[in-house]
Amino acid sequence: MGRRREFLDGDTADVARRLLGSTLVSTVDGSETRGVIVETEAYLGLADPASHAHVSKGRTPRNDAMFAARGTLYVYVSYGIHHCINVVTGEEGVPAAVLIRALDPVAGREVMAARRKRDTDLCSGPGRLAQALGITMRHNYHDLARPPVRLIPGTPVEESKTGASGRIGVSRAADWPLRFFVKGHPAVKPPRW
DNA sequence: GGTCGGATCATCT
DNA sequence: GATGATCCGACCG
């Protein structure tokens, strides 16, 4: 992914929208799984009250990967059970990231179903897609330019086919329009507004 | 179809 | 002791 640097450069909200249409490929445990990104959320870092790296928290072991170089994978555990994955978008030392919330599963569906122990809702939610791709905390700090988890930039989804809304499940800055999604895609649940 | 509560833990109060 | 960038099974209509 040689174009990674330029593709992820710029305002994090713009990057979050631009990532719609790009592909995540995992070869974790030797099986390829692949999905096209259809829902994202931007987390702006220091100035964003909903971000794990908001100034009020400082740099901690948990959020440390958000301070890494652009194109790094930031993984955290949600509700003690689920893993959520983010693409780091800031300069090194400046935290910012895009949460991947949903994928259109395009390859390795059987492997995903085996990992998920069900054959529906394979990648429609941040915890679900991390499980489907086999991503866990051991992939925190991983460079998305190389296996076993790669980000392949794609042609961004036409803007008229995308929507924006408030982020899901956040209590602070809930009205900031930083969630982006492909309108009408089955893996994307309809927004509150 | 929709709603409710449990699982489980790093971080914060 | 409470909270949260979540998901799932149980239960109710």
Instruction: Please compute the mean of the pLDDT values over residues A164-173 and round it to a whole number.
Output: 92
Q: Which residue has the tokens 């122990």?
A: A117
Local confidence band at A39 (pLDDT 50, 70, 90 cut-offs): very high
Instruction: Please compute the mean of the pLDDT values over residues A22-44 and round it to a whole number.
Output: 97
Domain count, chain A: 1
Which is nearest to A124 in space by CA: A186, A80, A34, A178? Answer: A186
CA-CA distance, A36 to A22, in Å (whole number)? Answer: 6
CA-CA distance, A99 to A104, in Å (whole number)? Answer: 15
A135, part of any domain: yes
A193, part of any domain: no
- Find all residues with CB under 8 Å of A57, minimum gap 6, and list them: A63
Instruction: Please compute the mean of the pLDDT values over residues A11-36 and round it to a whole number.
Output: 97
Which pTM does this prediction carry?
Answer: 0.95
A187, part of any domain: no
CA-CA distance, A140 to A126, in Å (whole number)? Answer: 15
- Residues A99-141 have pLDDT tens digits of 999 999 999 999 999 999 999 999 999 999 999 999 999 999 9
Q: What is the mean pLDDT of chain A?
A: 94
A192, part of any domain: no
A189, part of any domain: no
Q: Within 7 Å: CB of A86 and strand C?
A: yes
Q: Which residue has the tokens 């086919």?
A: A161
**Nucleotides of strand B within 7 Å of the protein's CB atoms:** 7-13
Q: Within 7 Å: CB of A62 and strand C?
A: no
Instruction: Please compute the mean of the pLDDT values over residues A43-69 and round it to a whole number.
Output: 94
**Which H or E run includes A101?**
strand A97-107
A37, part of any domain: yes
Report the nearest residue to nucleotide B11, CA vs C1': A62
- Tell me what pLDDT residue A6 has: 87
A190, part of any domain: no
Residue A18: CATH number of its domain = 3.10.300.10
A8, part of any domain: yes
Range of the domain at A69: 4-182
Nucleotide lying nearest to A84, CA to C1' measure: C5
Which is nearest to A152 in space by CA: A65, A37, A75? Answer: A37
Contact A38, A103 (CB under 8 A): yes
